[in-house]
C-alpha cells in the first residue's frame, strides 16, 4: 500500500466496500463489531480484510484519516476569507453538515481510547493549527469573544459533534444548536 502502485480494479472495489461497510458498522453498533462481521457484510473473507487493513486499528485509522484530511483542507481553504467571522462559522457549519452525512466516528474513536497513530496525530495537529488560525482572525475582527482559547474551541466542536451524532437519544436540531454556539461565541 505504501508504494504508489494503483490497486487492481477488484482490489480497489473491495477496499472501498470494506471502508464504507466498516464506517457504517462502527457508527451504528460501536467499535466492538467483529472484523469477521464486517468482512461478511462486505462480501469478502476475513483474509481479504486483513490484506487491506492488517489490524483493526489500521481500519479505524483509514476511516478517520480520510475524514481528517477533508476537514484540514476545508479549514485551510477558509483561512483566506475576507470575512473572518463567517470563515470560522462557515467552517463549523460545514463540519456539522458533513458529520451528519458521514456518520462521524472521530470522537467515538477518540472517546473509546483508540490510539491516534503518528500520521493521524500530524493531520490532527494540522487541523488544530488551521482552526486556531480561523479563531485568531475571527477574534481580531471582533467576531468572536477574545477569551476563548483554541483548546476551548476544539472541545466545543467535539461536544457539538457528539451532541448531534445520529445515534443520540435526543432529536436536537442542528440549526438551533449552531445558532446557540454562534451567539455564545460572539
Partner DNA sequence: GATGAATGAGCATTCATTCAT
Partner DNA sequence: AATGAATGAATGCTCATTCAT
Decide whether 16 or 152 has the Cβ nearer to DNA: 16
Q: Smallest Cα–Cα separation from 100: which of 16, 38, 161?
A: 161
Total chain residues near DNA (CB under 7 A): 28
The partner in contact with residue 169, picked from a second copy, DNA, none with C-beta cut-offs of 5 to 8 angstroms by kind, is a second copy
Instruction: Give the whole-angstrom CA distance, residue 160 versus residue 178.
Output: 8
Here the cell at position 182 is 454562534
Q: Which of 94, 103, 136, 148 binds a second copy (CB under 8 A)?
A: 148
Using alpha carbons, list the distances in angstroms from residue 148 to 68, 95, 153: 23, 19, 7
Decide whether 35 or 154 has the Cβ nearer to a second copy: 154
- If binding is defined by CB under 8 A, does position 186 make contact with a second copy? yes
Q: Provide CB contacts within 8 A for 127, sequence distance 6+.
A: 68, 71, 72, 75
> Which SS3 state, helix, strand or coil, does residue 148 take?
coil
End-to-end CA distance of the chain: 46
Instruction: Give the whole-angstrom CA distance, residue 56 versus residue 34.
Output: 9
- If binding is defined by CB under 7 A, does position 47 make contact with DNA? yes
Per-residue x/- marks for DNA, 98-117, CB under 7 A?
--------------------
Q: Which of 2, 4, 9, 147 binds DNA (CB under 7 A)?
A: 9
- If binding is defined by CB under 7 A, does position 4 make contact with DNA? no
- If binding is defined by CB under 8 A, does position 142 make contact with a second copy? no
Which residues are near a second copy by CB under 8 A? 29-30, 32, 107-108, 110-113, 145, 147-149, 151-152, 154-156, 158-165, 167-173, 176-177, 179-186
Amino acid at each position: 500500500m505504501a508504494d504508489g502502485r494503483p490497486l487492481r480494479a477488484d482490489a480497489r472495489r473491495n477496499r472501498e466496500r470494506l471502508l464504507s461497510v466498516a464506517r457504517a458498522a462502527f457508527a451504528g453498533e460501536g467499535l466492538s463489531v467483529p472484523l469477521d462481521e464486517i468482512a461478511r457484510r462486505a462480501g469478502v473473507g476475513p483474509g481479504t480484510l486483513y490484506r487491506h487493513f492488517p489490524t483493526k486499528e489500521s481500519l479505524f485509522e483509514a476511516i478517520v484519516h480520510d475524514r481528517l484530511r477533508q476537514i484540514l483542507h476545508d479549514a485551510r481553504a477558509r483561512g483566506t476569507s475576507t470575512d473572518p467571522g463567517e470563515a470560522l462559522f462557515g467552517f463549523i457549519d460545514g463540519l456539522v453538515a458533513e458529520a451528519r452525512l458521514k456518520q462521524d466516528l472521530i470522537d467515538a474513536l477518540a472517546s473509546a481510547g483508540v490510539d491516534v497513530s503518528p500520521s493521524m496525530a500530524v493531520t490532527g495537529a494540522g487541523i488544530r493549527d488551521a482552526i486556531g488560525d480561523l479563531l485568531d482572525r475571527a477574534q481580531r475582527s471582533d467576531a468572536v469573544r477574545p477569551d476563548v482559547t483554541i483548546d476551548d474551541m476544539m472541545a466545543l466542536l467535539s461536544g457539538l459533534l457528539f451532541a448531534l451524532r445520529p445515534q443520540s437519544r435526543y432529536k436536537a436540531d442542528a440549526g438551533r444548536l449552531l445558532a446557540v454556539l454562534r451567539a455564545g461565541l460572539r
